Structure 1
Amino acid sequence: MHQLKHEDWKDTKMTLHLLSQILGKVRLEMAEQQPQWAHVTLPLTPGGFSTGRLYHNESCFSIELNVLQHKIIVTCEGERAIIPLKDGTTIQSYYRQLAAALEQFGCPVSIFTKPQEMTYVTPFESCTDVFTYDPELAVAGFRLFQHAERELTAFLAPLRTRKVMPALFWGTFDVSGLIVSDQYEPFPEDKVIEKGAFDEQFVEFGFWTGDEQVNEPTYFVLPYPFLFQELTSGTLEPEDAWYDASLSEAFYRGSDVQTFLTSSFKLMAEELGWEKTDHIFRPLSMPPQKNRR
C-alpha cells in the first residue's frame, strides 16, 4: 500500500494540502471547540475529506474535497455548488469560488487566509501560482490516507478509553488519532497552536506521506509530554519498527500496523507512568459483526 512516495506526487499533494487548509480553516471558525483541536480535523469520506456538518445561524452546510470525483462540493440546505479540481487552477481561484458559494448560500465565513504549519505562506486570496492537479496521483494519494485511516480506526475503535478518532490534520497533512489521559499537562511555551493541542497527556497515532527530507510514507506514534530519551520499558515491535529519541517518536513502514500501534502505545504509556491500562484492551462484550470484511 505504500508504493507511492512523496516525490511521486508532491506537486499534486501540495494542491490538496492547500485546499484542505481552506476547508480546515472554515471548520476552525464554525465547529464547536474541542480539546486537542479535535474540532478542526477533517473526517474522511468515501471520496475525500469533509468539514462535516457545520451551522451558520439556522443553516446547516458542509464542504467536501472529493478527490475521487475531482471536485469540491459545497452543500447547504439542499442546494449544491460544484467547483471542479483542474490542473493549472490557482489557489486564489479555488478560494474565491468557495467563498462565493458560501456567500450565495447565506453562510459567509471569514477565515485567516495564510497557510499554517507549511513553508508555503502566501495567503489564499493572493496565491496566483499555477498548481498541479494530476487526477490519478490525487486518487492514489487519497488511497494511502484511506488505508491508514482504516488501520488506525481498527486499532482505536474497540479501546475502552477517551480518544480522538482518526481524521485529517490539515496543518501537517497527516491522518491521526489520539488516546488521551485525564492528566492535565499544559504546554510550557506561549504558542497558540501548541497550547491548544498539548494541554493533557496523550499518545498520538498517525500516518504521514513524507516530505522533501523523508520520501517514504510512515506510520508514527508520539507521546505527550515528549520523552526525548531512549525507551526503558521494553522493545518496540515489529522488529523493523524504530524509535527516534531526538524526535520522541516511534516509526514504522511495514504491513503489521496493528502490532506496531499496540506495542508503541503500551511502551509509551508505561514511559509516561499511566496506570491501569490493561482495562483499555479488555474485549468488548458484543457479538461479532457478520457482514464486516
Structure 2
Amino acid sequence: MELFPPIPLADWRDSKESLHRFAQVVGKVRLAYSVRRNHWWNVPYHLTGRGITTRPMATADGAGTFCVDFDFVDHRLVVCSSNGRRTSFPLTGQSVASFHRRTLDALAAVGVPVSLRNPHPFDLPDADRPFAEDTEHAAYDPYWVNRYWQVLGQVSLVLEEFAAGFCGKTSPVHHFWHTFDIAVTRFSGREIDQPPTVDPVTREAYSREVISAGFWFGDDTFPRPAFYSYAAPEPAGLADRPLRPGAARWIERNGSHLAVLDYDDVRGGDDPRGAVLDFYESVYRAAAGLAGWNVRGEASPGGVTDPVAARSGR
C-alpha cells in the first residue's frame, strides 16, 4: 500500500453514501449508550487495526459492556458483549434498511436490546426517511471501502503527529459519523457565547474557541478528497494570511473560511506527510497568532513538555 493512495470520490460515491448511513446507524447506538463528553468526544469512532470501533459502552443496567466494530478487512459488522457473546454479519449485500435491522438483531443476540430514539440520518439529504425504509442505498464495494480505511489510518497518523506539538486541551483524533471526516481539535480555553438560534449540536461543539485540522473524502459541494483546517470563531483577517504549501488555499464555506489542501496535490509530491504537517501548522500559526493564543507556552515539540528531556533530546 502506497502512502496516500488514490481515492477519487467518483469511483466510490455510491459505496460511500451507503457506508456513511451504516456508520450513522451504529453511531446513534454510541450516542445513546455512552457517557456524554465535552464537545461530543464520546460520539465519534476510533480506528482499529481492522476498521473502526465504537469503543466499549455500558449496557442499560450498567453491569456490563458491549462494543460494535466495523471490520473492513473481512467486511463484517462485529458485535461483542462482556457476557462473552459475539456475533457478526457481512457488510456486503446490505441496504441501509437491512443493515439497520440486522444491527439491532445482532445487539439483541448478545443480550443488549437497543431502541434508537431517532432512527433517521442526521444532516443528510434523506434525513426525513427512517433507516428502516431506505432500500435505495445498498452499494458496498469491498475494494473501495478497504481503501477508505487505509487512507483513514494514514491520515490518522499524520494528525497524531500534528496533535503532539500542542500541550493544551486537545481532542482525540477521531472519525465523525456526522460529516464522515477525521479530525483533531485544539482549544484555547476561552468560552464562546453562541446565539440562541444555534442548534444544540453546534453549541456544544463550539462552546470554546478552537482551531481544528482534518481530512474528508469529498461531498457534493466539494467533490474530491482534501485536507482542511479552520478556526472558530474565525479571527479577523485570517483568510488574508498565506498558507503553505503553495497549493493550499482559502475557500468560503458556510459563511466562514476554510483552508483546504487537495489530497491529489499532496500525494504525488516528494514529501506528502511533511506537506500536510506544514499545511496544518501554517493555519494554526496564523489563526492562533491573530486570536492571541499562547503559541510558545503551549508548544510541545515532538510531544515533549519535560524540560529535562527536551534539553537532553530524550
TM norm structure 1: 0.91
The answer to whether 1:90 aligns with 2:108 is no
The DSSP-based 3-state class of the residue aligned with 2:136 is coil
Please state how far the C-alpha of 1:227 moved relative to its aligned partner. 4.5
Q: Which residue of 1 aligns with 2:184?
A: 177
1:103 and 1:90 map into 2 onto residues whose CA distance is 20
Partner of 2:75: 70
Tell me which residue corresponds to 1:258. 277
Q: How does 1:75-224 map to 2 (within 5 A)?
A: 75-77=80-82, 78-87=84-93, 89-111=94-116, 112-121=118-127, 122-129=129-136, 131-188=138-195, 189-224=197-232
Q: Deviations over 1:201-233 (max 9, x none)?
A: 01111100001332321011011113475535x
In structure 1, the partner of 2:248 is: 241
Mapped to 2, the partners of 1:184 and 1:222 lie a distance apart of 17
| Alpha carbons of structure 1 residues 61 and 10: separation in structure 2 relative to 1, 3 Å | same
Distance 1:277 1:73, change over 3 A: same
Q: Does 1:23 align with 2:31?
A: no
Q: Report the Cα offset of residue 272 of structure 1.
A: 2.2
CA contact 1:9–1:141 (8 Å) conserved in 2: no
Aligned pair in 2 of structure 1 residues 170, 109: CA closer, same or farther (>3 Å)? Answer: same
Q: Which residue of 2 aligns with 1:61?
A: 66
- Conserved 8 A contact 2:87-2:110: no
How many residues align structurally?
Answer: 287
Distance 1:226 1:109, change over 3 A: farther
> In structure 2, how many angstroms separate the alpha carbons of the residues matched to 1:157 and 1:41?
20
RMSD: 2.1
Cross-structure match for 1:225: 233
Structure 1 position 289, deviation (Å): 12
Identity over aligned residues, as a percent?
24
C-alpha change, 1:228 and 1:271, in structure 2 (3 Å) is closer
Cα distance change on mapping 1:99 and 1:33 into 2, 3 Å: same
> Shift of the alpha carbon at 1:247?
3.4
TM-score by length of 2: 0.85
- Could you tell me how far 1:106 is from its partner in structure 2? 2.6
Q: Is the contact made by 1:83 and 1:94 (CA closer than 8 Å) also made in structure 2?
A: no
Kept in 2: contact 1:91–1:128 (CA 8 A): yes
Please give the alpha-carbon distance, in whole angstroms, between the structure 2 residues aligned to 1:206 and 1:63. Answer: 24
Name the residue aligned to 2:269.
none
- The answer on whether the counterparts of 1:160 and 1:281 sit within 8 Å (CA) in structure 2 is yes
Distance in 2 between residues matched to 1:109 and 1:116, nearest whole Å: 19
1:14 aligned onto 2:17: yes
SS at match of 1:163: coil
Contact 1:204 1:221 in 2 (8 A): yes
Match of 1:36 in 2: 39
Whether the 8 Å CA contact 2:164–2:300 is kept in 1: the answer is no
- Is this contact kept in 2: 1:48–1:142, CA < 8 A? yes
* 2:14–2:137 Cα contact (<8 Å) kept: no
- Superposed displacement of residue 93, structure 1: 1.2
Identify if the C-alpha distance between structure 1 residues 21 and 130 changes in structure 2 by more than 3 Å, giving closer, same or farther: closer
Q: Is residue 59–residue 107 contact of structure 1 (8 Å, CA) maintained in 2?
A: no
Please tell me the residue identity of whatever aligns with 2:184: G
Counterpart of 2:55 in structure 1 is 52
Map Cα deviations across residues 121-179 of structure 1 (whole Å, 9 max, x no partner): 22112222251111111111221211111111111034211100211111100001110
3-state DSSP of counterpart to 1:73: strand
**What amino acid does structure 2 have at the position aligned with 1:259?**
D
Does the residue aligned with 2:20 lie in a helix, a strand or coil? helix
Q: Check conservation: 1:228, 1:248, Cα contact below 8 A.
A: no
Which range moved further: 6-15 or 206-215? 206-215
1:269 maps to 2:275: no
Q: 1:97 to 1:71 in 2, by over 3 A?
A: same
